[in-house]
Amino acid sequence: MDDKLHAPPLSLLDRYRGREFQPLYTTTVTVSGGETGHGRASGVARSDDGNLVVDLRLPTEFGGPGNGTNPEQLFAAGFAACFHGALNLLGKRGGMAIGGIVVEVEVSFGRDPMDGGYALVIDVRVKMPDVERRVAEELVRNAERLCPYAKMARQGTVNIVAVVD
């Protein structure tokens, strides 16, 4: 079963020349509120294919019991996984030894002095113990351009919100 696990092809690094957005993969996750009716406090997140099912809880910093995950962890995990994959592909194309790559993403949820509301701050930390510093820095710079999570963090993305019933 593990034999099926392989990185995607390097052709993903080819530049796309179409004129429209071309979706490659689409997924939907549904969150309901659970016992308290509040998604962060007692919600459940479930993906359409059933491969992601997690209980959501407020962390102790927000007065919750902490024994579940939360939006910041989920987002950090997604960002880190995508960035890791981008580094792997770029490193492979460059012929690097890319065995020990580790990506840590720290997401902070806090108050925004600009609008008095809330904001997220993201710190991405990359470890590439087997790659020379100069080369590693160039890989990280290129991964920042390639990874759409980094792009979204930089400039936002397409985002549509609708009430459906």
Partner 1 sequence: MKRKTTLSPPPLTLLDKYHGHGPQTLYSTTVTVIGGKARHGRASGVARSDDGQLSLELRLPKALGGPGGGTNPEQLFAAGYAACFHGALSLLAARAAIPIPGAAVDVTVDFGRDPMDGLFLLTAHTRVRLPGVERVAAEELVRNTERFCPYTKMARQGIENVVALVESGDEARTEPNNMNDSNNISNLGDFRDANESHGKDPT
From the CB of 53, what's the least distance to partner 1, in Å?
Answer: 9
Tokens of 98: 């890319």
From the CB of 6, what's the least distance to partner 1, in Å?
Answer: 5
Tokens of 127: 């470890």
* Exposure letters 95-126 (e unless 16+ CB within 10 A, then b): ebebeebebebebeeeeeeeeeeeeeebebeb
From the CB of 149, what's the least distance to partner 1, in Å?
Answer: 7
Tokens of 117: 């509301």
CB neighbour list of residue 107: distance below 8 Å, 6 or more residues apart: 72, 73, 75, 76, 79, 120, 121, 122
From the CB of 55, what's the least distance to partner 1, in Å?
Answer: 9
